[in-house]
């Protein structure tokens, strides 16, 4: 997703010690055409190989496939040298 003309908003947030980041990879668990299998979701979530990946995945009761896919997604990114953190 591309956000434009946010310089003034970014500066206002930064002056208060607030920073934001946006996701650049996704599981597709909220897309109109959602993945229907573990392999499909894992493939979608791991196709981005930039220097930094912020993966969008939803944590709700009805996102069972997302939960089941996480082990493979995490394994893939760890083998590629990525480290994990929590954004809250």
Does 48 fall in a domain? yes
**Residue 2 binned pLDDT confidence (cut-offs 50, 70, 90):** low
Does 6 fall in a domain? no
The parent domain of residue 26 ranges over 21-79
Does 85 fall in a domain? no
pLDDT digits (tens, 9 = 90+) for 9-65: 889 999 999 988 888 899 999 999 999 999 999 999 999 778 889 899 999 999 999
Q: Are 66 and 60 in contact (CB under 8 A)?
A: no
The whole-angstrom separation of Cα 22 and Cα 20 is 7
Query: What 3-state class would DSSP assign to 85?
Result: coil
The whole-angstrom separation of Cα 83 and Cα 7 is 29
Does 32 fall in a domain? yes
Alpha helices in the chain (DSSP H): 7-15, 38-45, 64-79
pLDDT digits (tens, 9 = 90+) for 53-74: 989 999 999 999 999 999 999 9
Q: What is the pTM of this model?
A: 0.76
Does 86 fall in a domain? no
Does 33 fall in a domain? yes
What is the tally of structural domains in the chain? 1
Task: Give mean pLDDT, residues 71-84.
Answer: 93
Task: Centre a 10 Å sphere on the Cβ of residue 44 and count the other Cβ atoms it contains.
Answer: 19
Does 35 fall in a domain? yes
Does 15 fall in a domain? no
């Amino acid at each position: 997703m591309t956000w434009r003309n946010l310089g003034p908003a970014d500066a206002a947030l930064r002056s208060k010690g607030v920073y934001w980041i946006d996701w650049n990879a996704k599981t597709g668990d909220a897309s109109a055409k959602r993945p229907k299998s573990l392999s499909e979701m894992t493939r979608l979530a791991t196709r981005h190989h930039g220097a930094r990946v912020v993966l969008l995945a939803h944590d709700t009761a009805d996102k069972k496939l997302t939960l089941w896919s996480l082990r493979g997604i995490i394994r893939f990114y760890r083998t590629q040298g990525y480290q994990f953190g929590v954004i809250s």
